[in-house]
Amino acid sequence: MAKHFLPRFRIAIVGSGAIGCYYGGKLASFGRDVHFLMRSDTSAVRISGLRIRSKTENIHVAKVNVHQTTAEIGPCDLVIVAVKTTSNTDLPALLPPLLHERTMLLTLQNGLGNEEFLAAHFGAERVLGGLCFICLNRVAPGVVERYDDGHLGVGEFNRYPQPRTHEISWEFKRCGVVSGVVENLTLERWRKLIWNIPFNGLSVLAGGIDIAAILANDELRLTTLALMDEVIATAKECGIPLRTADALDQMRRTEKMGAYKPSTLIDFANGKPLELEAIWGETLRRAAAAGTSMPRLEELYASLQALDAQNREREKVSSS
């Protein structure tokens, strides 16, 4: 089984932000044949390599396989999709040069609907999903800061784990990533939304604050818990058996993160479009399909839509 994951096994990273650079960098640091699709940071990474920094590790991958097109990379055995969901419409054109008959697609993206998107375009049998419970920021070209230990869960799209699911998880483990196999990928997607919906949203809505500031504010803390409860209740209406205690588990985990700035806040500060549909919009659509409502989430989603539109308009004006 493990023989597939020799250095000759080709891996492509599509989306070289914090998530792509971290997981791709960990694999590359252990000698795996990893190829990064990069556009803006190509020259810097070719010169200086990739760096991963935290309290417990300081990794430098000096020689990195960096490419500006997927055609340069060519067919791979595993494609890790780590682009923002706002770029999903680019994937049907980007991914085909990376595919051979048995290429696996592992999406590490946030929110709901990403596996379905890949399955619709490339076939469900290729698709796996990864849940990244980790705090990362890309602080400079090719430089990633990790703020907590985190873990990665790997699961199959709409089916139970397969031998390949365990192979991929073990390969991450061998390269220093805390990883495990999840039996129900949809369940874990909803579990992650318990955190993503309130903390990513409120960090922007409250004026650009980190998660420690959210927890320190009584009103925001109560709003966070109310949003978490809505997600859990809606998941149950959709047949997803989340537990009420999952909210408290997420709060306890968050209290250990310190002054971490979620990815949505960083995107907003940089004038980039927010992942509105995958995280907030799709959740509301699934709630509606199940015949239930999420009034707090509806309010948050509408506010984020307005802020996102204003932010993108400012960015357009400043760049013109």
Strand stretches in the chain, DSSP E: 10-14, 33-37, 50-53, 58-61, 65-67, 78-81, 104-107, 127-133, 136-140, 143-146, 151-156, 179-181
Catalytic residue numbers, as ranges: 192
Quick one: DSSP state of residue 179? Answer: E
Interatomic CA distance for residues 246 and 4, integer angstroms: 36
Quick one: DSSP state of residue 181? Answer: E
Q: Evaluate if residue 1 carries a pLDDT over 80.
A: no
- Residues with Cβ within 8 Å of residue 68, at least 6 apart in sequence: 37, 38, 39, 42
Domains of the chain in sequence order: 2-183 (3.40.50.720), 187-319 (1.10.1040.10)
CB 278 within 8 A of CB 110: yes
Helix (H, G, I), strand (E, B) or coil at 319: helix
Specify the pLDDT at position 148.
81
Q: Which two tokens stand for residue 28?
A: 């590359």
Helix orientation angle between 218-237 and 245-255, rounded to the nearest 10 degrees = 140
Interatomic CA distance for residues 256 and 259, integer angstroms: 9
pLDDT tens-digit profile of 194-244?
A: 999 999 999 999 999 999 999 999 999 999 999 999 999 999 999 999 999
Interatomic CA distance for residues 304 and 200, integer angstroms: 10
The secondary structure of 90-129 as a DSSP string is: GHHHHSGGG--TT-EEEE--SSSSHHHHHHHHH-GGGEEE
This prediction's pTM: 0.94
pLDDT tens-digit profile of 132-173?
A: 999 999 999 999 999 887 899 999 999 999 999 999 999 999
